[in-house]
Structure 1
């Protein structure tokens, strides 16, 4: 499991937009749904009866929940066990929620594993795909098909059943046509794609063109490492960020580089015969690794590549020692904005990833979902999870300036969404907001923006004279804004999607860590010149023997049975 970073899109993308919260609460949204009938604690009404999506249980029901919550921040006087979300569940829905445990993302897997092993799981919890499948295999989850159809509000269904990302996520949460979880959906698959961030003030200083090809990226990286772009007469810069977790990182990731060679180390691809093959063993990976090995040998990459963390690559960017990195849509917020604050001359721009040949480069799109909210088999009120989802989307999208979503603290605004057990978003909402803002900045006409987006416009329109406008502009501004790059991918059908959308197979569950550790170890040695490039061929054979061939068989069996 990787709960520590699983919700980065929520915690950064959405929280940034919470500053402009009224932008998420458009006048076109339906008003708050009000109770049409009194909802009893019994879930046994017939499907023909009208129900209130926010109907209150009377008497109240009890629920035991579990979740992870990274870096919690509470309003003054509130805490994990005493806060406004628990009060809202109780006063609005009649749900008395108590926590079995709430941990950080890093600690959550172990806590959950212990609970599962002892057959003492919470009534409602958040799980990743592997745990989701394991619980299903052991008949430990409640079927939510009927309660979702019956109780989900219009706003919930518009998010999960009427958007392409939502539909894909719901399919991933279903087995044989039955729904077993409410998927967490926070962004479109395009918003999770890799892009290239370049320190363009260094480009200008060295009189270099913007990157159009992989060869350009290599030349720029070499110049950044060898031509003293910071002007201190010391060889203390390097060209391209590479974290030790370069196969799976948010910053210092190399997936975008591999995508330039039409390969991807993390997903299944369809071959010329219509069969699924894993991207990590495709020939393009070997070609890309050879280029990286050459770059390392020339001193373009950090000599500490094998131990560099994402955080250390952040530090290199912040401290002006790094000129380029593959990153994600929120990279302008962290770490790049910190470099902007530290250096009045610095500027970074986002670019689409580039290709090594005349075939367009396609970045890997994100998974429609990473987490699922599930209900323990036998829990008496499974529909309660749907009502909790309804309450969340109601306040996030339909209630202006809801104090359940954000509130003032000191001189700033803090997000409160992390206190909720169930967090469900319309995956299309942030992209629409971003494009509305981008268009206004392009035309210098904010007249069509509502109050929240007008505030964002006012922040960004002062760029480049106002350095405080950098972050907003570089996310939502011109073609170099990260959201515009993601939108470019989406509109031009340039997303490489995982051809396998099924559950983790038995071999994935048992062998995936072994295979990932193997590829990280071998690829790191190849890049650093500690292994010959032909070691890639030995890696392919090892990968196949250590479970890769069996995984390939399993995913193709699923694909043959489920392809449309």
Structure 2
């Protein structure tokens, strides 16, 4: 662990945090009026034997708060949501929240401190794998079998495979709630102005891009609109690449083996198509410099009428566009169909984070009890907030009190730490944000074509050594090819370099995993 040790000042910082957390006396916390205070013989659902009286235990847990603020006179250990969990699980729980900035570094300091908590949340798969190799984490199989009925129900088998090494489960994963992010949106009023129909095929998309760039779709007699807009680091182009049946950087099966999609001939075809858009001046000429803020501003200000939106952009730049131009009408599109009839967009990985139990903990059973409740019976409250306070049912729909929602936003620290997969509550939450934003429809459309990575194991040793450099190599080659600084045939040179600079080694490791997990 020597390579993980930090400076003394960093160690002091986390030690102070730990001391503060430890000093919180949970037995003196005010009881929550929202849950019964009689939990001396609690027996949470999913604990195994419903008649079993569960021992009251004290545990210390590390979560990532993401910099969220607490209301006045509240903190991570004094608020109604942590009280709710305490009372429903018969556990004395003390939260420890390192600073959001440098969170992973703080976890390394905690692991080196000799004063370890009972549970730690990390979003870094490499961190998780590293400490498994150091024999620093406990196997949780026994306790999941005994106390984790809801965990087993709400986390899919493929996710469990990711955290299972040599038959031992070393983490309880928190799941991604959405299947992917990107979906095509277009200004229908611009299509109508030009007498165009919503595009379906890749070539129809190209014609709409040409018309939006050249035919004055907003009717202001100015050359001030783009055909399509992308963002820095090759962002916001997933549906275009998906028309060739792949996604950048993902592993996909070919002839019984996993290969990286970035080196396939289909990627060369996708890059050739996008390079053609740039050459013909159909792309925003500044796309390579577009950070998220100015990307959104160009949409909101009427410079772009076709783009790959995030599923929640209907509440962001699209909403701002409508506020700026009341006649602006945005609609979702079918994902572009490529030359071989394929469609797709980037699918999210299953796992967003990992809850691990250090080897020194005497209470792995209590950690599983807590996480099982948070992932099961307690999740609705942790996600949505307290009923009739943050939200209420009106005409069969959830209506959110946004003032209370924002006041209680700190609760998401708990909900995000052990999110179930495909929970109905997620749909309820999205609808509660406003049916006019079509958030669930966007998610459903994405889910139908999302292309998921077929490697979902922990990072391999080769990934640790080479992945960062290979990603940089890919970004440099692909960007230069799109803007014309390199010919499309330079793709073959990229593949050759990718393989020599660690790609072949990683491919061998990935396929060793694939053979064992087919």
TM (norm. structure 2) is 0.80
Q: Residues of 1 paired with 2:77 and 2:259: CA distance?
A: 48
Which of 466, 479, 496 in structure 2 is aligned with 1:541? 496
Match of 2:361 in 1: 379
Q: Indicate yes or no: 2:472 matched with 1:475.
A: no
Match of 2:12 in 1: none
Contact 2:344 2:450 in 1 (8 A): yes
Secondary structure of the corresponding residue to residue 126 of structure 1: strand
Match of 2:162 in 1: 172
Which of 334, 356, 378 in structure 1 is aligned with 2:338? 356
Secondary structure of the corresponding residue to residue 168 of structure 1: helix
Match of 1:464 in 2: none
Match of 2:175 in 1: 185
Q: Residues of 2 paired with 1:368 and 1:427: CA distance?
A: 8
Q: Residues of 2 paired with 1:82 and 1:356: CA distance?
A: 55
Match of 1:420 in 2: 414
Secondary structure of the corresponding residue to residue 198 of structure 2: coil
Following superposition, the deviation at residue 182 of structure 1 comes to 1.1
Which of 45, 64, 68 in structure 2 is aligned with 1:68? 64
Relative distance call for 1:36 and 1:96 in structure 2 (3 A) is closer
Relative distance call for 1:483 and 1:211 in structure 2 (3 A) is same
Contact 1:238 1:323 in 2 (8 A): yes
Question: Which sections of structure 2, spanning at least 5 residues, go unmatched?
Answer: 1-34, 392-400
Following superposition, the deviation at residue 145 of structure 1 comes to 0.9
Q: Residues of 2 paired with 1:511 and 1:400: CA distance?
A: 38
Relative distance call for 1:116 and 1:270 in structure 2 (3 A) is same
Contact 2:176 2:348 in 1 (8 A): no
Secondary structure of the corresponding residue to residue 363 of structure 2: coil
Following superposition, the deviation at residue 356 of structure 1 comes to 2.1
Match of 2:327 in 1: 345
Contact 1:67 1:102 in 2 (8 A): no
Q: Residues of 1 paired with 2:488 and 2:383: CA distance?
A: 58
Contact 1:329 1:475 in 2 (8 A): yes
Contact 1:186 1:424 in 2 (8 A): no
Following superposition, the deviation at residue 308 of structure 1 comes to 1.4
Relative distance call for 1:282 and 1:90 in structure 2 (3 A) is same
Secondary structure of the corresponding residue to residue 386 of structure 2: coil
Contact 1:199 1:347 in 2 (8 A): yes
Match of 2:31 in 1: none
Following superposition, the deviation at residue 522 of structure 1 comes to 1.2
Where in structure 2 are the equivalents of 1:200-219 lying within 5 Å?
200-219=188-207
Relative distance call for 1:410 and 1:363 in structure 2 (3 A) is closer
Q: Residues of 2 paired with 1:80 and 1:398: CA distance?
A: 17
Where in structure 2 are the equivalents of 1:126-275 lying within 5 Å?
126-127=121-122, 128-153=124-149, 155-160=150-155, 166-187=156-177, 191-192=179-180, 194-246=182-234, 252-271=235-254, 273-275=255-257
Relative distance call for 1:62 and 1:484 in structure 2 (3 A) is closer
Contact 1:276 1:552 in 2 (8 A): yes
Which of 408, 423, 430 in structure 2 is aligned with 1:429? 423
Following superposition, the deviation at residue 37 of structure 1 comes to 4.5
Match of 1:99 in 2: 96
Q: Which moved more, 1:409-418 or 1:341-350?
A: 409-418
Q: Indicate yes or no: 2:268 matched with 1:286.
A: yes
Match of 1:25 in 2: none
Following superposition, the deviation at residue 406 of structure 1 comes to 7.2
Which of 390, 395, 398 in structure 2 is aligned with 1:407? 390
Q: Residues of 2 paired with 1:212 and 1:545: CA distance?
A: 39
Where in structure 2 are the equivalents of 1:111-122 lying within 5 Å?
111-116=106-111, 122=117
Relative distance call for 1:265 and 1:79 in structure 2 (3 A) is same
Following superposition, the deviation at residue 50 of structure 1 comes to 5.4
Where in structure 2 are the equivalents of 1:452-471 lying within 5 Å?
460=435, 470-471=436-437
Secondary structure of the corresponding residue to residue 370 of structure 1: strand
Relative distance call for 1:423 and 1:280 in structure 2 (3 A) is same
Residue by residue over 1:264-303, the C-alpha shift from the partner in whole angstroms, topping out at 9 and shown as x without a partner, is 21211111x2111100001111111122112112222122
Q: Residues of 1 paired with 2:350 and 2:172: CA distance?
A: 12
What is the RMSD computed on CA atoms of the aligned residues? 3.4
Relative distance call for 1:76 and 1:236 in structure 2 (3 A) is farther
Match of 2:510 in 1: 555
Secondary structure of the corresponding residue to residue 192 of structure 2: helix
Q: Residues of 1 paired with 2:355 and 2:192: CA distance?
A: 49
Following superposition, the deviation at residue 311 of structure 1 comes to 2.7
Following superposition, the deviation at residue 78 of structure 1 comes to 2.1
Which of 301, 305, 310 in structure 1 is aligned with 2:292? 310
Following superposition, the deviation at residue 56 of structure 1 comes to 5.9
Match of 1:296 in 2: 278
Match of 1:249 in 2: none
Following superposition, the deviation at residue 256 of structure 1 comes to 1.8
Relative distance call for 1:395 and 1:370 in structure 2 (3 A) is closer
Following superposition, the deviation at residue 456 of structure 1 comes to 5.3
Q: Residues of 2 paired with 1:266 and 1:430: CA distance?
A: 31
Q: Residues of 2 paired with 1:119 and 1:217: CA distance?
A: 59
Match of 2:104 in 1: 109
Match of 1:448 in 2: none
Residue by residue over 1:223-243, the C-alpha shift from the partner in whole angstroms, topping out at 9 and shown as x without a partner, is 222222233333222122211
Secondary structure of the corresponding residue to residue 289 of structure 2: coil
Contact 1:67 1:421 in 2 (8 A): no
Match of 1:518 in 2: 473
Relative distance call for 1:405 and 1:143 in structure 2 (3 A) is farther
Contact 1:132 1:372 in 2 (8 A): yes
Contact 1:184 1:369 in 2 (8 A): yes
Following superposition, the deviation at residue 124 of structure 1 comes to 1.8
Question: Which sections of structure 1, spanning at least 5 residues, go unmatched?
Answer: 1-30, 40-45, 161-165, 247-251, 435-451, 461-469
